[in-house]
């Protein structure tokens, strides 16, 4: 190839606006992202990209903003099949009287696989390209995510009571570690330990998690300080608050992804900042279950890494990360009583790079930078609901919805094109969802 000849590449995505997330708050107009081998190789003005690269395929989206794919940092995706099954209830009645009994009747590999397949379709159509999963049957989870080419960190569940997946704590560990070993080296899959919560996991199990997480370099994904009652019960049972107990057991560190965290003192916020804890903020689930308010702006200002999660569809009731992130931004302002709290750029960062960092993937995804994998989404800003555009980041956070997502790529592979899912049989997916709905509805009537 002669000097100055265009360099071959796989893909060039041209967009009216590109928001790389890193550097923070930057909006690039009329730029292109160049991709080869599933990775971003360049980010430059559109005219320069056309002169410098000979793309095998060029996607032109002049009315779209190109973003890193959104990262859902806490979800129970098989529970898409329980969407709306028990609404308008507090957390413990919701869990103990409805969710756990239904799960006891239906939980099996096919339930997990079908629920995840439904969730992946919903997430892709909503601009989410990576999730942090927390559920049972991680073998079925991993197989489904791998088969459908979706990026996921699969939680290895640990809980003290028996389930359809395992009967004893030892079995949870043995079976979970076997799943991790079976998928070691899978391109789009990672693993974490997923102890359910301090109130369902004992000290011995937490101590083993700490040891193994260090040895295997895995995150620890756990519900923590979700409700005020959890704090009361922990003090009565253990003589200390849940976060203090986790600290005593050596788990409050940079591996911990603490989910919800609605009950925090100033000293606990400082501890999380000092130790490098990441917090998965799930505002809509917390609101719907009346669990409390995560002090997200106080955490952000303290330097804590914030991420966004939808939680499961049984408590949200969707996997809409755009709506979740908007809720996070608005709720932060109300809780802090400060209109400048959780600005749009910080909210978008939490929904992308913050999640990637929490999951140990910040060197691979979460921002549009050369060398990173091409997990990308286009969001249309050309319709009347989005015009005029003064600031593309503000428009995405405050005036856009998942229905405006036009395209999505994971590691450079097309997953959504012009709003149409690639290699997805929607009719078959709808039929599976309806069949599960009829079965679960029948179980509820029989109770």
Kindly report, residue by residue over 335-346, the tens digit of the pLDDT: 999 999 999 999
- Integer Cα distance of 247 and 292 in angstroms: 22
The pLDDT, as a whole number, for residue 218 is 98
- 318: tokens are 């969707």
The pLDDT, as a whole number, for residue 92 is 85
**CATH class of domain segment(s) 7-68+372-411:** mainly beta
Give the strands of the sheet with 376-380, arranged side by side.
39-45, 28-36, 7-18, 53-68, 376-380, 405-410, 413-417, 420-421
- Residues of the chain with pLDDT below 50 are 1-2
The pLDDT, as a whole number, for residue 447 is 63
Phi and psi for 364 in degrees, rounded to 5? -115, -40
The pLDDT, as a whole number, for residue 212 is 98
Give domain 70-358's CATH architecture: Alpha-Beta Barrel (3.20)
Tell me the DSSP string of 295-363.
Answer: -HHHHHHHTPEEEE----TTTS----HHHHHHHHHHHHHHHHT-TTSS-HHHHHHIIIIIHHHHTT-TT
The pLDDT, as a whole number, for residue 2 is 44
Domain definitions of the chain by residue range:
7-68+372-411, 70-358
Task: Name beta bridge partners: 154.
Answer: 133, 191
The pLDDT, as a whole number, for residue 345 is 98
**Residue-wise pLDDT tens digits, 133-185:** 999 999 999 999 999 999 999 999 999 999 999 999 999 999 999 999 999 99
């Amino acid at each position: 190839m002669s000097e100055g000849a265009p360099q071959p590449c796989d893909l060039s995505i041209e967009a009216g606006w590109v928001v790389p997330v890193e550097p923070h708050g930057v909006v690039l107009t009329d730029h292109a992202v160049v991709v080869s081998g599933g990775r971003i190789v360049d980010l430059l003005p559109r005219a320069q990209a056309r002169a410098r690269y000979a793309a095998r395929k060029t996607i032109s989206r002049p009315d779209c903003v190109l973003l890193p794919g959104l990262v859902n940092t806490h979800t129970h995706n098989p529970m898409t099949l329980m969407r709306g099954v028990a609404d308008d209830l507090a957390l413990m009645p919701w869990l103990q009287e409805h969710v756990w009994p239904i799960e006891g009747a239906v939980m099996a590999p096919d339930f997990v696989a079908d629920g995840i397949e439904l969730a992946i379709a919903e997430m892709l159509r909503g601009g989410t390209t990576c999730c942090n999963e927390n559920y049972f049957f991680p073998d079925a989870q991993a197989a489904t995510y791998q088969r459908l080419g979706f990026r996921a960190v699969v939680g290895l569940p640990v809980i003290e009571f028996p389930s359809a997946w395992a009967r004893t704590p030892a079995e949870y560990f043995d079976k979970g570690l076997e799943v991790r070993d079976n998928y070691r080296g899978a391109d789009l899959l990672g693993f974490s330990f997923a102890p359910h919560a301090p109130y369902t996991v004992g000290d011995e199990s937490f101590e083993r998690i700490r040891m193994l997480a260090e040895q295997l370099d895995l995150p620890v994904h756990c519900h923590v300080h979700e409700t005020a009652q959890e704090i009361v019960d922990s003090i009565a049972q253990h003589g200390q608050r849940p976060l203090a107990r986790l600290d005593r057991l050596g788990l409050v560190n940079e591996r911990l992804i603490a989910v919800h965290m609605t009950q925090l003192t100033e000293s606990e916020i400082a501890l999380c900042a000092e130790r490098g804890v990441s917090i998965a903020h799930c505002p809509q689930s917390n609101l719907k279950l009346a669990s409390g308010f995560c002090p997200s702006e106080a955490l952000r200002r303290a330097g804590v890494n914030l991420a966004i999660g939808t939680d499961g569809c049984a408590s949200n009731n969707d996997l809409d990360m755009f709506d979740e992130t908007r809720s996070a931004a608005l709720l932060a302002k109300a809780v802090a009583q400060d209109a400048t709290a959780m600005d749009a750029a910080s909210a978008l960062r939490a929904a992308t790079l913050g999640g990637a960092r929490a999951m140990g993937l910040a060197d691979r995804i979460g921002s549009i930078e050369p060398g990173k994998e091409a997990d990308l989404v286009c969001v249309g800003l050309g319709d009347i609901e989005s015009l005029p555009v003064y600031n593309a980041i503000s428009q995405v956070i405050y005036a856009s919805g998942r229905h405006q997502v036009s395209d999505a790529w994971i590691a450079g592979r097309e997953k959504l094109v012009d709003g149409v899912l690639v290699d997805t049989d929607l009719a078959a997916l709808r039929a599976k969802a309806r069949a599960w709905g009829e079965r679960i509805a029948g179980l509820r009537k029989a109770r």
